[in-house]
Amino acid sequence: MKKILAALALTTALTFPGIAMARPVTLTATLENYGGDGAYLAIYVTDAKGAYAGTLWMAGGKSRYYEHLSDWYRATGGSRAEINGITGASVGAGRTLEITLDLADALFDAGYTIHVDAAVEDMRDSPNDVSVPLTAAGAGKTVRGRRYVASFGYAM
C-alpha cells in the first residue's frame, strides 16, 4: 500500500488560498491482478461542462509513456507543468495507491468529476477507467473501474 500526502500547489485551479476553505481528502485506488507490469495512472478532474480542470496525481515517472493516458494527454498535451510535484511511482498489479490531498470545498457538489486514466506496457490503454462525480454524499463509497482499477473511492 502506498500512502502519499500531497498538498496541491496553490496555483492550480483546484485549490483556493486559505486552508479554511479546503479539506483533506484521501483517494484510494486498488488495481486488478491483470498480469502485467506496473500501471500508469492519471487522476484528474473535469468541470460540469466536461472540460479539464486540473490534475490530482500522476502515478508513473516517465513522460514518454504519458501519451497512453490518452484522455489526460489530450486535455493537457502532456504538459509537465500540470503534474509538477504531484508525481509518484507506477502502481503494480493488485496493489493499492492511497493519496491524501487538500481539496477546495467549492469542488464538491458543483458538477466536478474525478477521472482515472490507466495504461500498462504491452497491454490495452484504458482512458477513463474510472469516472466518478465529486459529491459530499459520494465520499466513502467505492466504484469499480472499467479495466485495471478494481475499486476507487474518496474519503474525507
Tell me which DSSP letter residue 51 carries. Answer: -
Cα–Cα distance for residue pair 97/30, rounded to 1 Å: 6
Provide, rounded to whole angstroms, the least separation between the CB of residue 15 and other proteins.
Answer: 27
Residue with Cβ nearer other proteins (141 or 146): 146
Cα–Cα distance for residue pair 59/63, rounded to 1 Å: 11
CB atoms within 10 A of CB 11: 8
Total residues interacting with other proteins, rule: CB under 8 A: 19
Interaction with other proteins in 43-72: which residues (CB under 8 A)?
61-64, 67, 70
Cα–Cα distance for residue pair 112/147, rounded to 1 Å: 23
Residue with Cβ nearer other proteins (11 or 62): 62
Cα–Cα distance for residue pair 75/46, rounded to 1 Å: 10
| Residue owning grid cell 500512502 | 3
Interaction with other proteins in 1-40: which residues (CB under 8 A)?
35-37
Residue 146 lies near other proteins (rule: CB under 8 A) = yes
Interaction with other proteins in 115-144: which residues (CB under 8 A)?
122-125, 128
Residues lying near other proteins in the complex (CB under 8 A) are found at: 35-37, 61-64, 67, 70, 74, 78, 89, 122-125, 128, 146-147
